Amino acid sequence: MAFALLSFIVVTFTNAKPRDMQKKTFILGLCFCLFSIMAIGQYKEAPDGLGVRAVFPNYQWAVDQEFIEDEFGAGIELEYVRHLNSFLNFGLPIRLNNVVLPPEQVGRTNKAAMLGLDATLQLKFFREPAFLYPYLLAGIGLNVEDFEEVGLEAPLGIGLNFRIGKHAYISTRGEYRVSFQDARDHLQLGAGMHFIIGDGEPAPPVVIDSDDDGVPDSQDLCPTVAGVIGLNGCPDSDGDGVTDGDDKCPNTAGLVALAGCPDTDSDGVIDQDDDCPTEAGPAENGGCPIKDADGDGVLDDVDECPNVAGTVATNGCPDTDGDGIANAKDNCPNAAGPAATNGCPDADADGVIDSEDRCPDSKGPASNNGCPEITEEDKETLDLAVQAVQFQTGNAELKSNSTAILDQIVEILGRYRDYQCAINGHTDSIGSSKTNQRLSEQRAKACYDYLISKGIDASRLSFTGYGEAQPISDNRYKAGRDQNRRVEFNLFLK
């Protein structure tokens, strides 16, 4: 109907002469009114719509690419829109406007009246009741210039509508219209209103309720027997929330979890199967409570020591030292310790129990009896000290350059607090053995006194002089005698 009416308008305006313009305008206005009556919505529930816009065509822009106010024409456009599916509309706009044609038109004025009719498809991005309603459009159009010359156009454009009411939108659109005639490509801008008329609400369906229980037959699982709305229309004689068809105790109110049967003591065993219906107990015990013979809070069925009071952590078995390991499994039942050492204490947590750990406060491997192993770097420092600690010739006075290596030994003893240190002095064979013996002792003691002065506990230190009795090289040569004059620092564990 809409297409036939618009065809009538085109024919009327195409065949009319300029002096019939007043008559043509009246016919056009009448057609607009008819379109308004036809427009009743634009989505699934209201599939038709109507747009009214002011349009501003510009035929010069396609030539000079400039927006000049004087080059724009003006007119009005009325568009019928039909909803096809959730993403596509069909549009049928008709417009009447004045235009300014390009200057290439020779022998006539460059102003003209245009009547146009389009058929377009609109790719829409719209979900009722969205605020923004954008869409793309493309189609084919018929254009009548000065109501004499007829031409074809292909409109391409984009539109954006803004919701201002339930079914009312501000409508804006921009189009580039490709003409099948020379010098007729043009730009067209438009703004106005778009209406979706009608409430858009589908007619309420007819509801059938055969048993008059308030649940429609389409949703009623028991459509011929009156029931409860909350149970999809099925009956519940005892009102426990379980339909009679599923209720194992249909005449006695019970629990949903127990298929409608009662459980007075709430132990999960229904009363008719419970040997102790008023005392809670597990099903495997016939619903009767399990005893706790030793009174330790662990029921006999899980108590590993049911006749001896214990703790919950040890499944009812005694734990004298309270370390969470039952006495029967505890290698040290009277001293708390971790499970990793079978209940025996391990103060430094190195995996070696304190009773076997020679360094109970310092972590170390079992291969070294739980004591930290001396690093290769520290061993090299101790070896260096043998020759680096030097004295004044013939006496026990430390040379100033010896304190640096002695300070390093202090640091080593600080890192290995469980180790003892034996300081041993040695001399070469020059002089009497008695003198050398005394000198070696004095030199060892000089080192001993220095270490104590730096805070090392005397109980960790000892010193001994060996004189010339333990040479490490040949005393006949100077190089050998230099090596034999030495102080050794030996770290060891008691």
Q: Residue 355's Cα: distance from chain center in Å?
A: 51
Q: How confident is the model at residue 10 (pLDDT cuts 50, 70, 90)?
A: very low
Contact between 421 and 413 under an 8 Å Cβ cutoff? The reply is yes
Of 325-329, 407-411, 420-424, where does mean pLDDT reach its minimum? 325-329
CA separation, residue 483 to residues 397, 438, 474 (Å): 19, 19, 9
DSSP letter, residue 255: B
- Give the pLDDT score at 128: 66
- Hey, what long-range contacts does 437-442 have (CB within 8 A, 24 or more apart)? 437/465, 437/466, 437/467, 437/468, 437/469, 438/465, 438/467, 439/394, 439/395, 439/396, 439/465, 439/467, 440/465, 440/466, 440/467, 441/465, 442/395, 442/396
- Give the pLDDT score at 40: 32
Contact between 476 and 468 under an 8 Å Cβ cutoff? The reply is no
Kindly list the domain boundaries of the chain, sorted by start residue.
Answer: 2-195, 320-371, 376-492
In the chain, % of residues over pLDDT 90: 42
Burial of 367 by CB count in 10 Å (0-12 exposed, 13-18 middle, 19+ buried)?
A: exposed
- Give the pLDDT score at 43: 63
Kindly report, residue by residue over 306-351, the tens digit of the pLDDT.
888 888 888 889 988 888 889 888 888 888 888 888 888 888 888 8
Q: How confident is the model at residue 202 (pLDDT cuts 50, 70, 90)?
A: low
pLDDT at 88 over 70: yes
pLDDT at 113 over 60: yes
Of 26-30, 218-222, 282-286, 406-410, where does mean pLDDT reach its minimum? 26-30
Average pLDDT, the chain: 84
pLDDT at 285 over 70: yes
Q: Does the bond joining 345 to the residue before it have cis omega, within 30 degrees of 0?
A: no
- Give the pLDDT score at 130: 76
User: What phi and psi values does residue 121 have, to the nearest 5 degrees?
Assistant: -110, 135
- CATH placement of domain 376-492: 3.30.1330.60
pLDDT at 33 over 70: no
Q: How confident is the model at residue 19 (pLDDT cuts 50, 70, 90)?
A: very low
Q: Using CA atoms, how far apart are residues 444 and 488, in angstroms rounded to an integer?
A: 9
pLDDT at 282 over 90: no
pLDDT at 464 over 90: yes
Q: How confident is the model at residue 23 (pLDDT cuts 50, 70, 90)?
A: very low
- Give the pLDDT score at 273: 86
Which segment, 23-27, 249-253, 273-277, 489-493, is predicted with the most confidence on average? 489-493
Q: Do domains 2-195 and 376-492 have the same CATH topology?
A: no
What does the longest C-alpha to C-alpha distance in the chain come to?
Answer: 153
In the chain, % of residues over pLDDT 70: 88
pLDDT at 15 over 80: no
CA separation, residue 264 to residues 243, 249, 271, 391 (Å): 21, 14, 7, 96
What is the average pLDDT across 390-400? 91
Of 3-12, 44-53, 190-199, 349-358, where does mean pLDDT reach its minimum? 3-12
What is the average pLDDT across 245-267? 85
What is the average pLDDT across 16-36? 39
pLDDT at 238 over 60: yes
pLDDT at 95 over 60: yes
User: What phi and psi values does residue 71 have, to the nearest 5 degrees?
Assistant: -85, -10
- Give the pLDDT score at 18: 40
- Give the pLDDT score at 245: 86
Q: How confident is the model at residue 400 (pLDDT cuts 50, 70, 90)?
A: very high
pLDDT at 486 over 70: yes
What is the average pLDDT across 425-452? 95
pTM over 0.85: no
pLDDT at 3 over 70: no
Which segment, 94-98, 182-186, 257-261, is predicted with the most confidence on average? 94-98
Of 283 and 409, the structure prediction assigns the larger pLDDT to: 409
pLDDT at 32 over 60: no
What is the average pLDDT across 283-296? 81
- Give the pLDDT score at 492: 93
Of 129 and 112, the structure prediction assigns the larger pLDDT to: 112
pLDDT at 277 over 50: yes
Name the fold adopted by 2-195.
Porin (2.40.160)
